Every structure is written in C-alpha cells, then in structure tokens.
C-alpha cells in the first residue's frame, strides 16, 4: 500500500490523500472516492475513512479521500456557490484527477452524512459513477432535509426512549436511585405519543421525486448501498422518504419495516450479533443494511469494523462491471 | 501550504508545511503538536488556522500527524506517547533542515502540549513554547476521557459488544486505548519535571479555574520567562452541539486564543 499527498485545482486547490495498492497487487479498474462527512476533514469521523481507504486498497482499489473547499485543508471558495452545488463539481473534478493521473474511468463514491448526499447527487449527475455507498444519508437536498429533519429527529428520539423504556437496566437505575423517575416518565410519554404513520408523513411529492432519482440510477446500472446506523436520524428519514422503493433489497432481519410502529426485532437482537455482517448480497440494485447498536458516526470500534466489513463485502460481490476490459453500463 | 510525507517509508508521518509570508524574516520556526484521538479530530481546523496565522506573521510552521493518527501511517493500537515524542523530534529536525531556522517554538494543545514539554526538556533547540490547556496529570486525563465516554454512551444508541474479546475499556470516544497506551499516559506528570523545557513560555487556559497556576509558578521558580494568560473560550477540542449561535456545531476556531499565541510569539521574537 502506498499513501501520497495529492492536490488538484478546481476553483481553488483541493488537498487529499491517495491510497494505492502496491506494485505487485492486481489493481481494480475503478477508483473509490471518500467524501467529507460534514465538517470533519478527510481522515473521517473517528479516523474511519483512513481505515476504509487502507482496507479497500488491500482489495485492489485506488482510493482518494480529499477535502472539499472550506473543509479540512482545502481553502474556501471565493464564489458564492452553495456547498451542495460546488461539492458535486469538486467530486467530478476529483474523478477527472484520477482519470488523468491513474487512467481510471469509473468510480464508486462513498460518503457519510452530508458526504452520502453529495455522493448521491454526484452519481445522478455523472454516468462514470458505477457504485454509491451512502452511509447515514439518503440523498436529500438541503431544502428537502430542512422540511423533513424536525419530524425525523422526533422519531429518532421516540425510538431512543422506547428502547430505554423496555430495557430492564433503565428500571434498575430508577430503583437504585441512579436515575430519576422523570426520565422513565419521559420515555412513557414519548411512547404514548404514538408512532408516526404514513398519513402523518409530510412532503409526499418530495418522496416520490427522490424515489424516481434512485430508480433512475438503478435503471442506468449504478448500484447503491445504503447503510443506516440505528442511532442515526437517517434511518427515520429513509422510512419517511424512501420507504416506497420497490427496488430495495434487504432482509427483514436487517431492515426494520417501520421503525415508527414499534420495536423491530433488529433492535432487540442478542448481544454480539452483528446483523449487517455476513448477510447474503441480493441481486437488487439498491440495497439497504441497518447496523444495530451503532451511532451516527460509528464511534464504538466494533461498529467501525461492522461498517468497513459491510462495504468490503458489498464491493466484493456487487456487479460493478469491474472485469478488466469491461464496458461502462 | 505544502502537504508531504516524511520520516521512514515504514512509518511515514504526514505533515503540512506553511511557508512564511510577509516582509518579516524570522529565525524561529514553529512545530504544532496536536492532541490525540477525538480531540485531534475536533481541533484540526483550529490548528490549520493557527498555522496560517503564524505563517502570515513570518514564522515557518509545520503541523503533522503523530504515528497512528490522522493521515500518518500505522494505527493507534501500536503507537503511544514515547513514539509521539520521537515524532515531534523528527518534525523539529525536518523543519530545521528544510528552512534553516536555528531554533523552534513548540505549540501544543492538551496532550500535545504535554508531549511538547517533555520533548523540549530533552533538546536544546526548543527555545520557546506555547502550552494551550496542557494535560498536567496523565491519570486524571484518562479518567476525564473515560467519564466523557461513559456519559456519551449513556445517551446514545451505541452499545458495546460483549464476548468478542474487546470491552469498553479498550477504547475511548472512537479511538483505541490499549493497555500499553493507557499505562504510558498514566505515568505522565508535568508538575514534577525539573528539566527546563524552554526559556520562554506562554501558558494559556480558557476557563477561570486557575488550573495552570501551580505549573506557571513552578516554571518561574526554575527561572523560565513564563507568562500565564486567561483567554475565555469554549473548548475547541470537544464536540460542541449546534445551537442558535453556532449553527454548524462541532467545529470551533477560537480566534482569540490563536491571536494570543501569534501575538505572544511575535512579541518575544521582536
């Protein structure tokens, strides 16, 4: 494995790290780009992008993780373009950098949180993208996210309290005086508040539009892996905006069908079970994996490992047209 | 700004050199010493800004990632303070070789400041030092990290896994904490070092706790030209939740602190 500091110019200089397989390895004819998670620089939350880049390089991928303008080491732009617009342009520029420097002409985009949204938008805009891994982001544009976020956060909170309410340790803490009864009452109140049903969901037109974009990608032959942590609001956004996708492949074990109507078995698996790892890869172009007991940025080390293995397994099995000499979809 | 890798091919260190700008020529270079783990992630932007401001004041500046951290090679499971101290020494040599400066100022935050003190005590080319909220006692620091980890866990969906050979004490806030790393950090104690880390020092804290007063007096007793300043600011190394005043959350650049550091260094190098 070789790591090099690289830079390329879009509106201004963008800085990144290129991780390449060593000379004696078979190199996949596909570049992987890791896109900034929120404001965290290219090392990724908890340095998980560094780990991911190194693991994918072991499988023969050339990986570029770089900073968008105004994030990490890359300076801010001087034009007035909003982030969600220039991030797509800069992702395309990063692809061109890999084409010019490494002769790669197809790409897999991977991003967490806002990085997932940029990955999706970039894939929609560019046919060179043959695969997208969206981690805790479902591709909403800023206006759509603003419209749905408040309700999604309420649902996430309700799931959290519901889980606490049914956990013996919560009651033990009350009995032993380590926690107040108010905490439990808040949980009860949250659960009695009731699940959010389809009729209460907002923005059906938005949902339909987003689903259409996913279908467009699927029809084009671009494969999508959505990875959702149980503790991320993205899981609730998924149910609000993408629940109607028929192209999704997910086992009932890994994907709660409706997180608003009670506690899915996925949230109550045995300790140690890692629901996303070792699942068969389906043939559908859009696949969803839920990682239980994980937070939005995969803070615990075992959740980082589960995340990396899920991506590795998907990349190893999904047909990305990566056979040497293969043509673009 | 020039990003590059240095040190050996087996243990590459990632650094970013900020060449000096402006009319003033300085004979002192600056090496920045990051904190570790989650505190490194949170303070990355503040360090980038600090390096830019130092370069703007004419000081050549090198910021770099320790072994197993950031963009450098390796993993935190096989790195620790002793190695990181050697890394700081390597970075000092790299800066001096590349720029020709005769001496350096080390600027560190939290554990980075602690490591800077220990490195400065072993070298004669470290003449100045800026300590930003240094860790004074390794054991207390570890306890603080573990408390923060437990508090975070209590309010999170995340659950430690049982029975996979790893338990929650092996990690803290997203990063590994091996027994070896914990033991080495535990042994750190700035208050009982008698060696002189630098001839001129600025100790800066962000709260009115007066936590650094004993260290300041200790250094003055050793004959060091040490200053102590209070610059109120939220902790740049912690996750700050988004609120009305800080819509983005989690990303702080405490300008007053950075300005104080640059002004002090410019003043002592007049």
Write down the pTM of the prediction. 0.89
C-beta atoms of B48 and A303 within 8 A = no
Instruction: Count Cβ–Cβ pairs < 8 Å, chain A vs chain B.
Output: 102
pLDDT at position A309 is 95
Residues of chain A where predicted confidence (pLDDT) is lower than 50: 195-201, 251-281, 323-329
- What is the C-alpha to C-alpha distance for residues B68 and B183, in angstroms, rounded to an integer? 17
Residue A257, H or E segment: none
- What is the C-alpha to C-alpha distance for residues A47 and A40, in angstroms, rounded to an integer? 10
- A17-51, pLDDT tens digit by residue? 999 998 888 899 999 999 999 999 999 999 999 99
pLDDT at position B24 is 83
C-beta atoms of A47 and B175 within 8 A = yes
Contacts of A50 (CB under 8 A, 6+ apart): A43, A44, A65, B70, B71
Beta bridge partners of B17: B2, B62
Cα A311 to Cα A55, A132, A182, B167, B200, distances in angstroms: 10, 10, 41, 24, 51
Closest-CA residue of chain B to A293: B158
pLDDT at position A11 is 78
Closest-CA residue of chain A to B157: A231
Contacts of A5 in chain B (CB under 8 A): 3-5, 14, 71
Give the CA radius of gyration of chain B.
18
pLDDT at position A253 is 43
B2-7 and B28-33 strand pairing: unpaired
- Domains of chain B in sequence order: 2-137+195-268 (3.40.50.1820)
Closest-CA residue of chain A to B51: A73
- What is the C-alpha to C-alpha distance for residues B270 and B261, in angstroms, rounded to an integer? 14
pLDDT at position A25 is 85
A248-249 and B171-172 strand pairing: unpaired
List residues of B whose CB lies inside 8 A of any A CB: 1, 3-5, 12, 14, 16, 38, 41, 44-45, 48, 69-71, 73, 75-76, 152, 156-164, 166, 168, 170-171, 173-176, 248, 250-251
pLDDT at position B239 is 73
State both tokens at A249. Answer: 């492949």
Whether the CB-CB separation of B231 and B257 falls below 8 Å is answered with yes
Contacts of A271 in chain B (CB under 8 A): 159, 161-163
Find the mean pLDDT for residues B60-86. 96
pLDDT at position A124 is 96
State both tokens at A293. Answer: 């007991």
């Amino acid at each position: 494995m070789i790591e090099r500091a690289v830079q390329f110019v879009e509106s201004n200089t963008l800085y990144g790290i290129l991780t390449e397989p060593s000379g004696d390895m078979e190199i996949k004819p596909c570049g992987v780009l890791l896109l900034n998670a929120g404001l965290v620089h290219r090392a990724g939350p908890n340095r998980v992008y560094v780990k991911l880049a190194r693991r994918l390089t072991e499988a023969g991928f050339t990986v570029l993780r770089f900073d968008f303008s105004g994030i990490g080491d890359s300076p801010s732009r001087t034009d007035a373009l909003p982030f969600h617009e220039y991030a797509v342009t800069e992702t395309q520029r990063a692809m061109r950098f890999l084409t010019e420097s490494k002769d790669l002409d197809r790409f897999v985009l991977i991003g967490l949180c806002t990085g997932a949204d940029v990955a999706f938008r970039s894939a929609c805009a560019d046919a060179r993208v043959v695969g997208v891994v969206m981690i805790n982001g479902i591709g909403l544009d800023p206006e759509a996210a603003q419209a749905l976020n408040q309700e999604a956060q309420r649902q996430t909170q309700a799931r959290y309290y519901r889980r606490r309410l049914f956990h013996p340790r919560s009651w033990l803490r009350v009995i032993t005086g380590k926690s107040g009864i108010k905490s439990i009452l808040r949980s009860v109140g949250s659960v009695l508040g009731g699940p959010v049903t389809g009729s209460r969901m907002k923005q059906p037109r938005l949902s339909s539009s987003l689903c259409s974009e996913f279908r467009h990608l699927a029809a084009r032959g671009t494969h999508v892996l959505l990875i959702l942590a149980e503790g991320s609001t993205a899981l609730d956004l998924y149910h609000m905006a993408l629940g109607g996708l028929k192209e999704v492949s997910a086992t009932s074990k890994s994907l709660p069908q409706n997180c608003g109507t009670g506690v899915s078995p996925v949230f109550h698996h045995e300790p140690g079970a890692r629901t996303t790892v070792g699942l068969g890869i389906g043939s559908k172009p859009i696949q969803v994996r839920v990682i239980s007991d994980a937070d939005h940025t995969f803070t615990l080390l075992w959740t980082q490992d589960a995340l990396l293995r899920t991506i590795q397994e998907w990349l190893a099995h999904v047909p990305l047209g990566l056979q040497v000499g293969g043509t673009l979809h | 700004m020039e990003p590059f890798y240095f040190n050996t091919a087996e243990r590459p260190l990632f650094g970013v050199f900020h060449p000096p700008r402006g009319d003033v020529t300085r004979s002192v270079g600056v090496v920045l010493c990051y904190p570790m783990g989650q505190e490194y992630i949170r303070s990355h932007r503040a360090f980038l800004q600090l390096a830019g401001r130092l370069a703007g004041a004419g000081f050549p500046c090198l910021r770099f990632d320790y072994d197993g951290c950031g963009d450098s090679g390796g993993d935190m499971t096989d790195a620790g303070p002793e190695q990181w101290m050697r890394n700081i020494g390597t970075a000092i040599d790299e800066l001096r070789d590349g720029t020709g400066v005769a001496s350096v100022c080390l600027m560190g935050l939290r554990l980075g400041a602690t490591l800077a003190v220990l490195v400065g005590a072993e070298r004669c080319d470290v003449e100045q030092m800026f300590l930003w909220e240094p860790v004074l006692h390794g054991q207390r620091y570890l306890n603080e990290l573990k408390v923060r980890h437990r508090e975070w866990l209590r309010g999170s969906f995340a659950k430690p896994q049982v029975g996979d050979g790893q338990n929650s004490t092996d990690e803290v806030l997203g990063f590994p904490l091996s027994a070896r790393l914990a033991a080495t950090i535990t042994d750190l104690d700035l208050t009982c070092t008698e060696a002189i880390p630098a001839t001129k020092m600025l100790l800066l804290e962000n709260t009115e706790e007066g936590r650094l007063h004993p260290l300041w007096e200790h250094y003055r007793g050793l004959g060091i030209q040490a200053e102590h300043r209070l610059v109120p600011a939220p902790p740049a190394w912690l996750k700050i939740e988004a609120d009305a005043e800080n819509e983005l959350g989690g990303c702080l650049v405490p300008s007053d602190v950075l300005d104080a550091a640059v002004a002090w260094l410019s003043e002592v190098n007049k």
